[in-house]
């Protein structure tokens, strides 16, 4: 890691960090207004009296979001200003140690695994994708005994399939190999 990226990390931990949520809400409000002024207008449901106007309630809510988001942004800057001198300790807290960075990376990787799992579930089928996913997670979380990883992944996957697929009659994806014991 270069010192530059560390400084950036410290920076994101402070002021811009607090801005993530307000900016997210502003983006949501922007999407609402974009839709109510394009798609809903095309469908001719964004005008007229309130009961037939599909845009009214969403726009009111979007305005609430915009007002409060700006309030949060303002507050974030005020806090940042006020803490300018005393923020050293806070900044230290935000400073991630290598272990913390590693853990943050691991949680990110776990999400990536989850995304791959969701993506692969239909094509590969539940009974192939699930043990793979579980095994990856176990390894990610420091289970190092190969037999344990294998046994747990296949065991948990199969037992859960029995409960959901067998007892509750959920249609689990069979995948290209058409594996569907339940």
Partner 1 sequence: MTLKSKFSLGVATIAAVALAGSAAFADFPERKIQNIFPWAPGTVAHGVSQMIAEGMSERLGQPLPVVATPGAGGVKAFNTALAAPADGYTIFDGYVAPLVISPMFGRADWGCDDFTPLWSATSNAFAIAISPTEERFTDFPTFIEYLKANPGKTAYNGNGLSLPHMVSAKVLQTLDLVSRPVPYDDIELGMKDLRSGVLDWLVVNPGVYNANKDNLKILVTLSELESVQRTYDGADRALDFGIDLGISGLAPMGWNWWLVRKDTPEDRVAVLRDAMEATINDPEVRAQIEATGFVLTEYSPDQYSDVCNSARAQLESAKDAITWEEEAVKAAN
Partner 2 sequence: MLEPLFQGIQLFFTMDAVFAVLVGTLLGLLIGVLPGLGPLMGIILLLPITFHMEPVAGMGLLIAIYVGGSCGGAISAILVRIPGTPLAAATLLDGYPMAQKGRAKDAVGIAISASALGGVLGGIVLIFLAPLLARFALEFAPPETFALALTGLLVIALVSNEATSKGIMTGAFGLLISTIGYDQFANDLRFTFGVNGLLGGIHIVAMVVGLFAISEVIVQIKAGFFSRNPDVPWVRPSLNSALMVLSRWVNLVRSSAIGSFLGALPGAGGVVSSFTAYAIARSSSKTPEKFGTGFEDGIVATESANNATVGGSLIPTLSLGIPGDATSAVLMGALIILGFFPGPNLFEQNQDVVGGIFLAYMSANVVLFFAGIFLTPLFVACIKFKKQYLLPFITLLCVLGVFSLESSTFHLWVMLAFGIIGYVLRRYDYPLAPMVIGMVLGPIAESNFRRSLVISGNDYSFFIDRPIAATILAINLVLIIWMLCPKGWKNRLLRRV
User: 104 vs 176, which CB is nearer to partner 1?
Assistant: 176
CA distance 65 to 27: 10
Chain positions contacting partner 1, by CB under 8 A: 127-128, 131-132, 135-136, 139, 146, 149-150, 153-154, 165, 169-171, 174, 177-182
CB of 114 to partner 1, least distance (A): 17
The number of beta carbons lying within 10 Å of the beta carbon of residue 17 is 12
Q: Give which of partner 2, partner 1, none residue 12 binds (C-beta under 5 to 8 Å, depending on kind).
A: none
Question: For the window 54-93, what string marks contact with partner 2 as x by the rule CB under 8 A?
Answer: x--xx--xx-xx--xx-xx---------------------
Burial 21-49 (b: 16+ CB within 10 A, else e): ebeebbeebeebeebbeeebeeeeebeee
**Contacting residues for 173 by C-beta, under 8 A, at least 6 apart:** 121, 122, 125, 126, 129
Q: Give which of partner 2, partner 1, none residue 58 binds (C-beta under 5 to 8 Å, depending on kind).
A: partner 2
179 contacts 127 by C-beta, under 8 angstroms? yes
18 contacts 94 by C-beta, under 8 angstroms? no
User: 67 vs 88, which CB is nearer to partner 2?
Assistant: 67
CA distance 113 to 35: 33
Q: Give which of partner 1, partner 2, none residue 178 binds (C-beta under 5 to 8 Å, depending on kind).
A: partner 1
175 contacts 129 by C-beta, under 8 angstroms? yes
Binding residues for partner 2 (CB under 8 A): 17-18, 20-21, 24-25, 28, 31-32, 35, 40, 43, 45, 49-54, 57-58, 61-62, 64-65, 68-69, 71-72, 99-100, 103-104, 106-107, 110-111, 114-115, 117-118, 121-122, 130, 133-134, 137-138, 141-143, 152, 156-157, 160, 164, 168-173
């Amino acid at each position: 890691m270069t010192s530059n990226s560390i400084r950036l990390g410290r920076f994101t931990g402070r002021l811009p960090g607090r801005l993530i949520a307000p900016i997210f809400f502003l983006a949501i409000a922007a999407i609402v207004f974009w839709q109510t002024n394009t798609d809903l207008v095309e469908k001719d449901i964004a005008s007229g009296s309130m009961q037939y106007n599909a845009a009214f309630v969403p726009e009111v809510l979007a305005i609430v979001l915009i007002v409060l988001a700006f309030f949060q942004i303002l507050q974030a800057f005020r806090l940042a200003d006020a803490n300018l001198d005393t923020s050293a300790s806070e900044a230290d807290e935000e400073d991630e140690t290598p272990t913390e960075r590693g853990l943050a990376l691991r949680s990110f990787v776990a999400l990536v695994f989850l995304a791959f799992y969701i993506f692969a579930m239909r094509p590969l089928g539940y009974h192939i994708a699930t043990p793979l996913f579980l095994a990856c997670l176990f390894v990610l979380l420091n289970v190092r005994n190969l037999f344990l990883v294998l046994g747990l992944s296949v065991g948990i996957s199969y037992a859960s399939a029995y409960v959901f697929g067998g007892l509750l009659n959920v249609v689990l994806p069979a995948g290209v190999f058409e594996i569907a014991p339940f």
